[in-house]
């Protein structure tokens, strides 16, 4: 195991005894955000000196691939997402998720906590009528 993965895995070990959070479902399989994060870390192979920057750059790259596939639906399918290559888009979204999980771990952050706090933040904005607009604090 690389030093990078050892460090990240160590930061997430403390999550084992925590109360289960929201599950991710696909057909018969269920996965918790933190379980996904641990699984993603088992495939994260890059040098310790590239910690944080490697997954950050990968995230930007993969998000661009998602945008490119969406752009091609506009160009080639007239914006008809019924004709979109959903399997290819899903695959790229999976790559985005992997990089988010690994980047969060490199920063010592729990994917489950990020998800829960984000949903709470958006619910509070909706309640205050500030879900639209600009700025981080609204």
Instruction: Answer whether 111's CB lies under 8 Å from 104's CB.
Output: yes
Q: Which domain holds residue 24?
A: 3-128
> Could you tell me if residue 90 is inside a domain?
yes
Report yes or no on 133 lying in a domain.
no
In angstroms, rounded to a whole number, what is the distance separating the alpha carbons of residues 69 and 77? 11
Q: What is the pLDDT of residue 101?
A: 98
For position 114, which CATH number holds? 1.10.287.1080
105 in Cβ contact with 41 (< 8 Å): yes
Task: Out of 24-33, 53-62, 118-127, give the one with best mean pLDDT.
Answer: 53-62
pLDDT mean over 26-43: 86
Residue 102 lies in a domain: yes
User: 87, 109, 88: which is closest to 41 by C-alpha?
Assistant: 109
Burial 47-61 (b: 16+ CB within 10 A, else e): eeeebeebbbebbee
Strands (E), the chain: 23-26, 29-32
For residue 21, pLDDT over 80 is answered with no
Does the pLDDT at position 6 exceed 80? no
Give pLDDT tens digits for 35-88. 999 999 999 999 999 999 999 999 999 999 999 999 999 999 999 999 999 999
Residue 46 is assigned to a structural domain of this protein: yes
Between CA 4 and CA 13 the distance in angstroms is 14
Looking at the 3D structure of the chain, how many domains does it have? 1
């Amino acid at each position: 195991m690389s030093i990078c993965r050892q460090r990240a895995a160590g930061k997430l070990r403390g999550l084992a005894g925590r109360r289960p959070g929201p599950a991710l479902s696909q057909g018969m399989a269920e996965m918790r955000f933190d379980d996904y994060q641990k699984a993603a870390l088992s495939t994260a192979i890059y040098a310790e000196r590239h910690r944080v920057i490697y997954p950050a750059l990968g995230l930007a790259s993969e998000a661009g691939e998602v945008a490119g596939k969406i752009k091609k639906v506009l160009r080639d399918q007239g914006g008809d997402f019924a004709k979109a290559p959903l399997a290819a888009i899903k695959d790229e979204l999976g790559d985005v998720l992997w990089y988010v999980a690994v980047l969060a771990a490199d920063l010592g952050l729990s994917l489950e906590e990020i998800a829960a706090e984000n949903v709470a933040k958006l619910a509070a904005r909706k309640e205050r009528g500030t879900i639209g607009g600009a700025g981080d604090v609204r």
